[in-house]
Amino acid sequence: MNFDVVIIGGGLAGLTCGIALQQQGKKCAIINNGQAAIDFSSGSMDLLGQLASGRKIHSFAQNFTALYQQLPNHPYCLIGKEKTLALAEQFHALAKSLNLALHGTTEHNHYRVTPLGGLRSTWLSPDSVPTVARGEAFPHRKIAVLGIEGYHDFQPQLLADNLKQQSAFAHCQFSTAYLNIPELDYLRQNAREFRSVNIAQVLEHKLSFADLVREIQQASGEAEAVFLPACFGLDDQQFFNSLKQATGLALFELPTLPPSLLGIRQHKQLRHRFEKLGGLMMNGDRSVRAEFEGGRVARIYTQLHQEEAISAQDFVLASGSFFSNGLIADFDRIYEPVFGVDIAPCKNFAATDRLSWTTERFSQPQPYQSAGVAINERCQTATSGQIVSNLYAIGNVIGGFNSLELGCGSGVAVVTALFVAEQIGQKN
């Protein structure tokens, strides 16, 4: 099998890169070994929420110099300020074409409401999620927080009590209640099955829509806005939008414990676009080894194609971090398992020194979270210090920074994905 580009990893980074390459006319394949981190995400996407010094930030552009001074090898710093912002805008345009209904701006972060009643700074959020701008109050005063009877992944009273402590909601009056939804009774008999995905499947295919509308209206009382767990609409936001229109209320949805319906919707839309453009998804397969010729990757082999080589002009490593086995931790080393590319050096962390991987305090950012492969200014990787010209890395497999601590994981994924697609396109 021969392609122009083979991408290892079918998450946010891999699919974004694949879509951009297919739009250029490239013949791409994505090797996807299962669920990606996007399936467990909140649905919101971060660009940059904090510096390595610990200082919270509101504007990416105004804090880029400080980021460069603290982390010169961060992917944003290697790509450059203006290019990073342009690629972020390019992804937002892609999201609009996919009807992902994401709102936000690169000029400044906004705050999204978390399921525990906190406010988290972010770049893009689904328009179905409650958000507030910095220094502004939530536009609705009376809010009903509605859970689902027997569904323990969303706690209305806890959410309401914590949200009252936020200045943006200090003027609000909260009420809480639970929806019964009789069609869910058989799920309630097995707590393992009572999850957002299962609930969404039942509600879309076996529900009396009018009864659900009536129950929400009755439970919300005199509320102007209603907060619900994200359990309404499996493939896209259309079901939720129909529910909002039918109730005549300002409905909002909040992500629950993983898997996240909001992330799953985005994943499905991205995958559908990639395949519609002619890309090949090799699902349920895993890259196991690569062969090099003349300092370049010549071919790879997968678990399902151990004797049949998959060759390409360029390869893109979008395999993620430990969660998706893009990185492997043995007792005495952390490594990238397919190509054996170099791990990025990082302050207070060494890939071959297990004692440097963690800190004594559990609640602190852990050094191992900065683990990942090293890249140059073109996002190319290296083996034993030698650049591999046709092997690129994108997304959370890149190391040298802690994306969880900095609040930049999604941003790095889409920016590096589009940047690498551009680099490959410029070769012709």
Q: How far apart are CA 341 and CA 154, in angstroms?
A: 42
78 and 184 part of one domain: no
Q: Determine, yes or no, domain membership for 157.
A: yes
What is the predicted pLDDT for the residue at 349?
85
Token reading at 77: 């710093």
Supply the range of the domain harboring residue 27. 2-103+264-426
Is residue 382 a contact partner of residue 341, using CB atoms and an 8 Å limit?
yes
State the pairing for strand pair 124-126/102-104.
Answer: antiparallel
Contact (CB, 8 A) for 378 and 75: no
Report the run of H or E that residue 424 belongs to, with start and end: helix 409-425
User: Same domain, yes or no, for 226 and 199?
Assistant: yes
| Per-block mean pLDDT, blocks of 10 residues, the chain (428 long) | 95 97 97 85 95 95 97 96 98 95 96 95 96 95 95 93 96 96 84 84 81 94 96 90 94 88 93 97 93 94 90 96 91 93 88 88 86 96 95 96 94 98 90
Residue 356 is predicted with a pLDDT of: 87
Q: What is the pTM of this model?
A: 0.94
Query: Which residue among 229, 254, 279 closes a domain?
Result: 254
From the list 409, 407, 414, 422, the residue with the least C-alpha distance to 89 is 414
For residues 53 and 134, state if they share a domain: no
At 92, list the tokens: 């937002």
> What pLDDT does 299 receive?
94
Residues 376 and 399 in one domain: yes
Do residues 89 and 46 share a domain? yes
**What is the pLDDT, as a whole number, of residue 234?**
86
User: In this structure, what CATH number is given to the domain that contains residue 179?
Assistant: 3.40.50
Q: Which of 195, 224, 254 is the last residue of a domain?
A: 254
Do residues 49 and 56 touch, judged by C-beta distance below 8 A?
Answer: yes
User: What radius of gyration do the chain's Cα atoms show?
Assistant: 22
Q: Are residues 246 and 284 in the same domain?
A: no
Domain count, the chain: 2
Question: Do both 249 and 273 map to the same domain?
Answer: no
Question: The domain that contains 49 carries what CATH number?
Answer: 3.50.50.60
